[in-house]
């Protein structure tokens, strides 16, 4: 091995901005790492493009120059893309870069230089989408296609565009252990998963999405990192013992050394927008992002996103997943909020799911009444300060004057399917008419709808939890934890082994909707999304109201009205949902000057409506939509 090289004065004046292998002028690269407890840090640089393990003759050791606040840096000229490198702290074992942009050989092996700025973006004049236009399609790259890659996903974009969604949301695509994972056990937040196609594959996918008119959101995890290959604590105080999360040590946002940890996360936000042109970030489980400093990290994340969005010249949305029912996430900063663009509202899912399935386990114990669906439509949060039996305390707060478009709702998503013992989907629990009813509630509600991959055609394959840890102790802990999670429900013996390749394979989409039931459901989704684009009240609603209607026979229906004022007066859309298992008379005649735009039990949607069925009757779990005839599809 070469002897240690002394740092030059020029290399000691490197910019303090950012960490990782950062591109400089020409073919130069500046390596920069934060290791505040280290006496010295060495850069282990491979000769040529070798991917050999550091420590052998294929790597040379270069002492990095110390900088302010525990940073170390080194610059080299003539560095090719793919150059392998690693770090050694105080003569210790080699470790990949905490801010690695590329891990072509997995989580434990050396990092590689990736010149993300050199991608030739061709996006067809893409200008982004306003928040209110989002119809989100959540997908998992590894199971979305048989190949499980970004490039294979490009081949399905036409199907998604034809369906009518406007955005895809990628479950985490950062480097995780092995090749099978939901992605939330990531350990390299800057590196894109090698088995999916790496950073170049993701750039190709996003450019292709923009060319066909689809926005791209990525799911980012800023509350914890995974257990295997997690070397961050060796570099610095990335974690704190002040708080706990269900998935691992809490990230240090307000303890000693937190300034650089915060900068690490904010730089990650910038990377997604600057280098990958994403249209939004879905920030995972922000209720486990603990920060009691004077300025919350979520506010810094939003500010960084806004700066990069301005440079990019298009909107970028920051959406929080939270179970707190707390609108401080989206309140403006001048009112004490964090100013995020939108947040998830799981109450809509829980209200619809519990009512239609009858399930009352775990958090479903708080739900199951029809009036809760009405409240979820009208006020987004069912629990807005009300007592929660599941929590044995009051939960949440009111939404104030926030509109429905600030809340993302779903009837299925990766959590609500995958966190069932078998990962079974809604179609295995509900009758087809109930599925159609749930779809109508989702796509007619005044919120941002999220569709989970395959939901639109009633995919029969499950979406169980899966992982591929190489460490046998961590792998066994994952198995044991999964069984224990469902032990109180008596389902632990049926839980699929998350480590088994067969569990992963079982989740791959069939992409089959040839039957009348599955094809009909997809037709309904496509029709509702088509009309959603055409119906001005659904896209730009200024008012909405849902209410329950009970007839003399005890039947219950839900009436949803959406209106808008325009130069021509008020336009009105009315949807009536039969929430019961018996036919019932339409509780009102059609609105004046209105046409019947949709019957969910039409045979075109796989429904049971026959020619002899009266148009003023609703079949079990059927819904009917009225509106001006000009809103009818041609």
Neighbouring CB atoms inside 10 A of 268's CB total: 18
Count H helices and E strands in the chain, helices first: 15, 30
CA dihedral over 492, 493, 499, 505, signed as positive or negative: negative
Picking from 55, 30, 29, the residue whose alpha carbon sits closest to that of residue 44 is 55
Q: Angle of helix 432-444 relative to helix 346-357, nearest 10 degrees?
A: 160
Region of residue 102 (phi > 0: left; psi between -120 and 50: alpha; otherwise: beta): beta
Cβ atoms of 63 and 55 closer than 8 Å: no
SS3 280: strand
For 86, the token pair is 């690693």
Sheet holding 65-66, edge to edge: 20-23, 29-34, 71-76, 65-66
For 495, the token pair is 């839980």
Would you call 284 a catalytic residue per the annotation? yes
Catalytic residue among 97, 321, 384, 622: 321
Segment (H or E) for 242: strand 239-244
SS3 159: helix
Q: What is the DSSP letter of 54?
A: B
Measured CA angle at 229 (ends 225, 230), to 5 deg: 40
Cβ atoms of 421 and 491 closer than 8 Å: yes
Picking from 324, 319, 251, the residue whose alpha carbon sits closest to that of residue 287 is 324
Q: Which residues are CB-contacts of 508 (< 8 A; sequence separation ≥ 6)?
A: 143, 144, 145, 146, 148, 461
Rounded to an integer, what distance in angstroms lies between the CA atom of residue 39 and that of residue 444? Answer: 61
Would you call 321 a catalytic residue per the annotation? yes
Q: Angle of helix 258-276 relative to helix 198-211, nearest 10 degrees?
A: 50
User: How far is C-alpha 246 from the chain's CA centre?
Assistant: 19
Cβ atoms of 231 and 96 closer than 8 Å: yes
Catalytic residue among 67, 185, 275, 284: 284
> Mind telling me the catalytic residues?
284, 321
């Amino acid at each position: 091995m070469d002897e240690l090289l002394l740092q030059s004065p020029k290399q000691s004046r490197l910019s303090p901005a950012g960490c990782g292998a950062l591109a400089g002028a020409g073919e130069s690269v500046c390596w920069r790492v934060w290791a505040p407890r280290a006496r010295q840090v060495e850069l282990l640089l491979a000769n040529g493009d070798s991917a050999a393990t550091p420590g052998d003759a294929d790597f040379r050791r270069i002492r990095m120059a110390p900088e302010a606040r525990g940073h170390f840096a080194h610059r080299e000229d003539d560095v090719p893309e793919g150059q392998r490198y690693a770090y050694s702290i105080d003569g210790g074992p080699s470790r990949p870069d905490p801010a690695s942009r590329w891990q072509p050989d997995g989580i434990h092996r050396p990092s590689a230089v990736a010149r993300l700025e050199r991608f030739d973006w061709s996006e067809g004049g893409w200008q982004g989408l306003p928040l209110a236009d989002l119809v989100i399609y959540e997908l998992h790259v590894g199971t979305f296609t048989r190949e499980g890659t970004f490039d294979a996903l490009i081949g399905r974009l036409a199907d998604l565009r034809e369906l009518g969604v406007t955005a895809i949301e990628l479950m985490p695509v950062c480097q995780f252990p092995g090749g099978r994972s939901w992605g939330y056990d990531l350990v390299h937040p800057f590196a894109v998963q090698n088995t999916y196609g790496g950073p170049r594959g993701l750039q190709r996918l996003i450019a292709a999405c923009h060319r066909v008119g689809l926005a791209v959101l990525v799911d980012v995890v800023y509350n914890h990192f995974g257990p295997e290959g997690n070397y961050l604590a060796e570099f610095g105080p990335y974690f704190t013992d002040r708080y706990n999360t269900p998935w691992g040590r809490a990230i240090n946002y307000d303890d000693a050394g937190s300034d650089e940890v915060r900068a690490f996360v904010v730089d990650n936000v910038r990377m997604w927008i600057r280098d990958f042109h994403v249209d939004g970030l879905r920030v995972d489980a922000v209720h486990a992002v603990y920060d009691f400093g004077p300025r919350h990290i979520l506010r810094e994340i939003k500010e960084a996103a806004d700066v990069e969005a301005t440079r990019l010249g298009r909107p970028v949305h920051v959406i929080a997943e939270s179970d707190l029912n707390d609108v401080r996430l989206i309140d403006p900063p001048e009112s004490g909020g964090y100013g995020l663009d939108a947040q998830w509202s799981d109450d809509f899912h829980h209200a619809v799911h519990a009512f239609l399935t009858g399930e009352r386990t775990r958090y479903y114990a708080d739900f199951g009444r029809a009036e809760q669906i009405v409240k979820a439509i009208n006020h987004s949060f069912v629990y807005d300060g009300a007592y929660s039996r599941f929590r044995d305390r009051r939960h949440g707060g009111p939404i104030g004057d926030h509109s429905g478009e600030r809340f993302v709702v779903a009837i299925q998503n990766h959590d609500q399917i995958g966190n069932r013992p078998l990962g079974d989907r809604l179609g295995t629990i509900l009758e087809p008419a109930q599925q159609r009813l749930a779809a109508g509630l989702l796509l007619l509600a005044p919120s941002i709808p999220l569709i989970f991959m395959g939901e639109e055609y009633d995919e029969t394959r499950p979406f169980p939890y899966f992982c591929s840890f190489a460490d046998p102790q961590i792998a066994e802990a994952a198995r044991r934890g999964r069984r224990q999670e469902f032990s109180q429900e008596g389902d632990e013996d049926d839980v699929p082994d998350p480590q088994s390749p067969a569990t992963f394979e079982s989740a791959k989409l069939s992409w089959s909707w040839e039957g009348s039931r599955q094809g009909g459901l997809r037709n309904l989704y496509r029709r509702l999304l088509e009309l959603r684009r055409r119906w001005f009240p659904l896209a730009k609603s200024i008012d909405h109201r849902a209410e329950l209607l009970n007839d003399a026979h005890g039947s219950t229906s839900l009436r949803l009205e959406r209106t808008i004022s325009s130069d021509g007066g008020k336009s009105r859309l009315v949807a009536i949902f039969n929430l019961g298992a018996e036919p019932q008379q339409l509780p009102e005649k059609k609105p004046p000057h209105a046409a019947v735009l949709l019957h969910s039990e039409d045979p075109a949607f796989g429904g049971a409506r026959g020619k002899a069925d009266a148009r003023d009757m609703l079949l079990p779990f059927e819904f009917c939509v009225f509106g001006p005839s000009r809103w009818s599809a041609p």
